[in-house]
Chains A and B, each alone.
Chain A
Amino acid sequence: MIKTDILIIGAGPTGLFTVFEAGLLKLKCHLIDALPQPGGQCSEIYPKKPIYDIPAYPEILAGDLTEKLLEQGKQFEPGFTLGERAETIEKQDDGTFIVTTNKGTKHHAPVVAIAGGLGSFEPRKPKIHNIHLYEDKGVEYMIKDPEIYRDKKVVIAGGGDSALDWSIFLTDVAKEVTLIHRRNEFRGALDSVEKVQELKNQGKINLITPAEVVGILGEDHVTGVVVEQVQQIKKEFEIECDHFVPLFGLSPKLGPIADWGLEIEKNAIKVNNALDYQTNIPGIFAIGDVNTYPGKLKLILCGFHEATLMCQAAYQIINPGKRYVLKYTTVSGIDGFDGSRKEAPKAVVKAIE
């Protein structure tokens, strides 16, 4: 069981900045994120895109913002459970919470801060009428363990980087790799596209474009797919395979959080914005893009503000009645949980003769 003061769900910019603000109040944080790396959308969707409205940064790349936030919070030693999705929450008799992930990892904390952005990123599933019958029976929406494809016949669908990169990778593992894309053009890093071209020329990747998988065959496991190809005339044919891997990117879904008994409006969690961004369940807060209130703006800078106020309320819950006043970091410096100290250099008092 992982124990912490504030359990943060979502390791995007708002969640990461919470670590810093909580640290100033001597509260420890642990973050859960379904993605394998911190940064949320900033790392997953647009790491190379610039952001222009972070105060004091005329321009900063989303990926760099993530790095800076991690560095800013480092001395407060946040814990991370990455690649796992927060699945259930149970309120204990003493008012604390136990949050369990889809992989069974349990987290115990008196305060939960949901900084989940648009939700957890789930693979986009193609609309093939019988696809759900084959999930985990030969249809995988993401590749977790490439070894399961050893000496198998694999059909990959998609036109982005992951479709290209996995097709390349699997040529060394699988018996047969077929890549199907709706268009002749692929959108991916140039060297990936060139590599696929090379492997196609060598006969190691069977490339079918412009085409689409429209059906899946098999009794209780995938044995083939039905492909529709449109070249002047439309034709349909079958390809024998053991696995079908559609890679059409990720889309965010609010997911299991929607079933936690929180008040939801417009796909976001309603909070008390007059006070502390607490939800209808005392002890559970929602900050950043995942919350809503009158006048809400989904901006990173608003998430920072919400995180800061939320931490003050968390302090009151964790330390009832204990006195505290806001201190400026310039005045009091920062004492890290790792024993480090940052402070302003002392002024020199010396007479001028």
Chain B
Amino acid sequence: MEMQDIKLTIIDRDGVTHDVDAPTDMAMNLMEVIRSYELAPEGTIGICGGMAMCASCQCYVLSDHELPEMQDDEEAMLSEAFDVQENSRLGCQIQITPEMDGLKIELAPES
């Protein structure tokens, strides 16, 4: 349903900006939204399937939305990942909710 969609802005690894609609009622996470729009080639994102075990969905949060707090496994994975910044998160650990309307993120480089 249209009403349940939110707008996200995603900058891909080539620097191209995409404005996309994401459903809030399909239990999707940010990594899955990016995959559903094929904003990064298959096999370069969400490699572990969303278990916070590979960091292939690392992204930088550019807007000041309040996001769910980081759990231990996400924090641990980011501590081993490359190109990590202050605003790094794993897309697979961020469930899409209505509060995220307008969220802007940038995909971290492939590693």
Give A residues with C-beta under 8 Å from B.
Answer: 45-46, 49, 118-119, 124, 126-127, 158-160, 181-183, 185, 187, 248-249, 251-252, 254, 266-268, 292
CB contacts (< 8 Å) of A45 on chain B: these are: 48, 51, 53-54
CB proximity to A under 8 Å, residues B37-89: 41-44, 47-48, 51, 53-54, 56, 72-73, 75-77, 79-80, 82-84
Interface size counted on chain B using CB atoms at 8 A: 21
Q: List 9 A-B contacts (CB under 8 A).
A: A45-B48, A46-B53, A49-B51, A127-B82, A127-B83, A185-B79, A249-B54, A252-B47, A292-B42
Question: Are A249 and B41 in touch, CB under 8 angstroms?
Answer: no
Asked if B42 and A268 make an inter-chain contact with CB atoms under 8 angstroms apart, the answer reads yes
**Contact partner of A266 among B43, B72, B79, B111, CB < 8 A?**
B43
Contacts known (A46-B51, A251-B111); A126 close to B82, Cβ less than 8 A? yes
A160, B44: Cα distance in complex, Å: 22
**Chain B: residues with CB nearer than 8 A to chain A?**
41-44, 47-48, 51, 53-54, 56, 72-73, 75-77, 79-80, 82-84, 111
Q: How many A-B residue pairs have CB under 8 A?
A: 57
In the bound complex, CA of A266 to CA of B40 (Å): 10
- In the docked arrangement, what's the CA distance between A220 and B45, Å? 36
> Which residues of B lie under 8 Å from residue A49 when comparing CB positions?
51
Measured between beta carbons, the chain A residues less than 8 angstroms from B80 are 158-160, 182, 187, 248-249
A290: nearest residue on chain B (CB-CB)? B43
Contacts of A127 in B (CB 8 A): 82-83, 111
Q: What 5 pairs between A and B have smallest CB-CB spacing?
A: A267-B43, A187-B76, A266-B42, A183-B79, A159-B80
- Residues in B with CB closer than 8 Å to A46 are 48, 51, 53
In the complex, chain A residues whose CB is within 8 Å of the CB of B42: 266-268, 292
Q: By the criterion CB–CB under 8 Å, are B111 and A268 in contact?
A: no
Do B44 and A267 touch across chains, with their CB atoms under 8 A apart?
yes
Q: Is the interface of B mostly helix, strand, loop or mixed?
A: loop
Residues of A within 8 A of B84 (CB): 182
List of B residues within 8 angstroms of A267 by Cβ: 41-44
CB distance from B73 to the nearest CB of A (A): 8
A183 to B111 CA separation, bound complex (whole angstroms): 20
The residues of A that contact B51 with a CB separation of less than 8 Å are: 45-46, 49
Name the CB-closest residue of A to B51: A46
List, in ascending order, chain A residues with CB within 8 A of B53's CB. Answer: 45-46
Assess whether B43 is in contact with A251, with CB atoms less than 8 Å apart: no
In the bound complex, CA of A249 to CA of B51 (Å): 15
Q: A187-B76, A254-B43 are in contact. List 18 more A-B contacts (CB 8 A).
A: A46-B48, A46-B53, A49-B51, A159-B79, A181-B79, A183-B79, A185-B79, A187-B72, A187-B73, A187-B77, A187-B79, A249-B54, A249-B80, A251-B54, A251-B56, A251-B111, A252-B47, A267-B42
- In the complex, what residues of A have CB within 8 A of residue B111's CB? 124, 127, 251
Residues from chain A with Cβ under 8 Å of B44 in the complex? 267
| Chain A, Cβ-Cβ closest to B110 | A251
CB distance from B101 to the nearest CB of A (A): 30
Contact indicator A118/B43 (Cβ below 8 Å): yes
Chain A hits for B47, CB < 8 A: 118, 251-252
A155 CB to closest chain B CB, in angstroms?
A: 16
Q: How near does chain A come to B32, taking the closest CB pair, in angstroms?
A: 13
Give Cα distance in the complex from A158 to B82, angstroms. 11
Q: How far is the CB of B54 from chain A (nearest CB, A)?
A: 6
User: Which residues of the partner chain A approach B77 to less than 8 Å between Cβ atoms?
Assistant: 187
Closest to B56 in A: A251
Q: A118-B47, A251-B56, A266-B41 are known contacts. Are A159 and B76 too (CB-CB below 8 A)?
A: yes
Task: Judge whether A185 and B76 touch: CB under 8 Å.
Answer: yes
Chain B residues with CB below 8 A from A119, complex form: 43
A182, A251, A292: the one within 8 Å of B79 (CB): A182
Least CB distance from A40 to B in Å reads 13
Min Cβ gap A163→B in Å is: 9
Closest beta carbon of chain B to A168's beta carbon, Å: 18
Measured between C-beta atoms, what is the minimum distance from B29 to chain A in Å?
Answer: 17
Query: Looking across the interface, which residue of chain A has its beta carbon closest to that of B84?
Result: A182
The answer to whether residues A124 and B56 also contact, given A185-B76, A267-B43, A268-B43 and a CB cut-off of 8 A, is: no
